[in-house]
Amino acid sequence: MRLVLLGSPVAHSLSPAMHRAALAHAGLPGDYRARDVDAAGFAIPVDELRRGVLDGANVTMPHKQLACRTSDRQTDRATRIGAVNTL
């Protein structure tokens, strides 16, 4: 499983350590990395998700609204709010 945190900045995030520990505890193979991406570079991991290179992403500031606009499907709540936390 290849998972990422997308945002900027993300170097300070504890998410990679927490998610790696959760994967290990659950006995699931995989990795979780933080990727610092700007708005222009956000399309790259979205494309990687669509092609199956990545299996999932958490989205943090400032890209929650961008993630909503670029997602293929949204819940009604996400559409109303205009932002998402995961892809």
Section 33-52 average pLDDT: 97
Percentage of the chain modeled with pLDDT above 70:
100
pTM for the whole thing? 0.92
Q: Active-site residue 36, yes or no?
A: no
pLDDT band at 33 (very low <50, low <70, confident <90, very high): very high
Percentage of the chain modeled with pLDDT above 90:
100
Locus of tokens 């949204």: 74
CA dist 82 and 87 (Å) reads 14
Exactly one of 19, 42, 58, 64 is catalytic; name it. 64
**Residue 7 one-letter amino acid:** G
* Residue 19 CB neighbours (<10 A): 22
User: Under 8 Å CB-to-CB from 13, ≥6 apart: which residues?
Assistant: 5, 7, 34, 60
CA dist 12 and 81 (Å) reads 27
